[in-house]
Amino acid sequence: MKKLALYVFIDAFGYEIYKQHPYFLKDIATDAKPLQSVLGFTNTCLPSILSGKYPQEHGQASLFYYSDHSPFKWMKVLSFLPSFFDRFRVRNILSRALKKAYGYTGYFQLYSIPFDKLGYFDFTEKRDYFVPGAPFDTIFDYCVQNSIPYHASDWREPEERNLQAVTESIEEGDTAFAWLYLPSLDGILHKYGTQSPKVEEKIRWLDREIRNVYDKARKKYDDVALYVFSDHGMEDVTEGYDLIADIDALGLEYGKDYIAMYDSSMARFWFKNNKAREMITRKLHEIDNGSILDEEELRRLKTFFEDGKFGDLFFMMNPGIMINPSYFGKDLIAGMHGYHPDTPSSKALLISNKKIGEEITSITDIRKTMEKELAQ
């Protein structure tokens, strides 16, 4: 019997969003459930899905981390250039040039990190983890080790090309595992929020396209196990908060007293002395728009690193409140994720035409379903 395990990844298609669109694969999917996500963004969630491990196990807890050996130290000179060079389009060109120069094969983007601050950081995703031999074990390594023929979308390509490529692979009839990567809903949700007609239009498009792939697969295979899943959801943004200004006002010296990475929904700090630790911690406790994640909580979320690689202190914004401006963008946008994994809007989605076991509760458990389907 010829079987295909078809896994479709839709970035940011959270369970709460799915519930608002009950027509989505309604007559195909027979089971659906929310999954607990992990602390962080897509660059943390996808390794958790592919490896079946948590951030403290696979080591991809954030894109940037503090390092005395930063490859970007020389970029401080760019801070003296006119503001034109700090525009997103220019930074995007610079990011592509650096990626090529450094030989990075994974996703790489400088975002809005100030040039005079980049020299304090190193980058985590230097290697592509959608191919065998990533820095952590993935389902693609599993396929190679077990001689399972598979197809994986190229994350660099447009969705239309990935749909065409997976269809071509399916029609050849030799693929046992197919990974289809559909990320653009995330961008729409960021730009327009969860209630926009643009979101409705995109989800209906996804519904049509996935149905088309599934129907073609059924013509080639005796059994098609379809799993559609996400990494996290999306929260509608209600306001921005200038956390950077609060910390700057303390009069401490960046680089000498502390280092900080201001993500869109979370700030991470590294301390050079006790004075900075005490002053920043005291200030953060005064802010009602967020809260500190202590060691106990980080351990519960399995994102605790003894060496403080990704931060000595984590400050999480309340759902719907963005750090604005942040090192990941200077403008307030309509939707954001990366909030606490217990937030309802953070819940990921898993739907299938197969029974989803009660033991599948986290995005780290998706790997278990993959291996189970491939073993049958």
What is the model's pLDDT at position 83?
Answer: 67
- What count of Cα atoms within 13 Å lies in the side-chain half-sphere of residue 155? 15
Distance CA 357, CA 43 (A): 26
d(CA 336, CA 238): 10
Residue-wise over 15-30: b if at least 16 C-beta within 10 A, else e? bbbbeebeebbeebbe
* C-beta of residue 33 within 8 angstroms of C-beta of residue 357: no
**Domain residue extents for the chain:** 3-53+137-236+341-375, 58-127+238-332
Tell me the backbone φ, ψ of residue 177, rounded to 5 degrees. -135, 130
- Residue 127 half-sphere exposure, CB side, CA atoms within 13 Å? 12
pLDDT score at 1: 74
DSSP state of 264: S
Cis omega before residue 325 (within 30°)? yes
Q: What pLDDT score does 85 carry?
A: 64
How many angstroms separate the CA atoms of 141 and 148, rounded? 10
Domain 3-53+137-236+341-375 has CATH 3.40.720.10: yes
Q: Cβ(125)–Cβ(105) under 8 Å? A: no
pLDDT at 6: 98
Output the tens digit of pLDDT for each of the chain's 376 residues: 799 999 999 999 999 999 999 999 999 999 999 999 999 999 999 999 999 999 999 999 999 999 999 999 998 888 877 666 667 778 889 999 999 999 999 999 999 999 999 999 999 999 999 999 999 999 999 999 999 999 999 999 999 999 999 999 999 999 999 999 999 999 999 999 999 999 999 999 999 999 999 999 999 999 999 999 999 999 999 999 999 999 999 999 999 999 999 999 999 999 999 999 999 999 999 999 999 999 999 999 999 999 999 999 999 999 999 999 999 999 999 999 999 999 999 999 999 999 999 999 999 999 999 999 999 7
Determine the Cα–Cα distance for residues 209 and 237; give it in Å rounded to an integer: 29
